[in-house]
Structure 1
Amino acid sequence: MSLPCLGDGADTRLADLRGPLVVNVWAQWCPPCREEAPFLAALQKKAAGKVKLIGIDYADPRPELARKFAGENGLAYPHLADPDKLVQQPLKVGGPPVTAFVDQDGKIVYVHRGVLKSQQQLDDLVKDKLGVTL
């Protein structure tokens, strides 16, 4: 399965992704996604070179607002668009936010459903699930 870039980049085949990687499924219309955005932006800064991040804008009818949201919240990592909910089954998405942790072999080792409550929680998940200390 491939998803288009939310901006101007190329399509990305999800099976080709390798970690350590944090995949965050979000939408600009989702209040809990807005709550956890600062934690993801901070993770990107402190994990540079250790952990990659990718966002998936999920079931979003307004991609222009999604791009604006990502920019305003410092989510300066790649984002894909999933208007047709293609990741719903593989990640068992009931609704956003969902955060998946992918190891170096491309295997999903853990999926956190719901909002990330703190920076510490996200950092601990990266350490516990991906073996990366920040």
Structure 2
Amino acid sequence: MSWAAESTAAIIELASVFGHTATWHPAQGGTAALAQPVLFESASASLDLKAGGNDGINTSFDYTNYQITAPSARFPGLKSAVDSGQEEQVLVEENGEPVGRFHVRDVRYVNGGQLITARLSEIKSHAEPNRGRAHPALDHFFTG
């Protein structure tokens, strides 16, 4: 067995042990990749800019970089879709529970093209379902 085949087999085994799966429904239609085992990385870091004195900068920028690694055959067409500018998304789950929905920023082939690594950004809902409406208790209080 070649090194590339051995490392791909190891990735598949690790993915099944850690229990992360990713589902991708191509934006332009086509065959969906449903609940495929992936290695999921969520590395968080922060960058602090600080300067002394009263007029100094005291700002912190946080960023989170997510990544999945999987056999490229399990997500056929994902790299070409992202490279052509399609807005692709994946849903990541851990042991059947949602971890989050992510925008695919870029995809690279690794391990001789047998694997892909996809850099992701989390998609967050910025508006709450009841945004702009009073809390029901306050609404009742003011309306009687």
- Shorter chain as denominator, the TM-score bin is under 0.3
More strand by percentage = 2
TM-score by structure 2 length? 0.25
**Which has more radius of gyration?**
2
TM-score by structure 1 length? 0.26
More helix by percentage = 1
Q: Which has the higher contact order (CA 8 A, sep 6+)?
A: 1
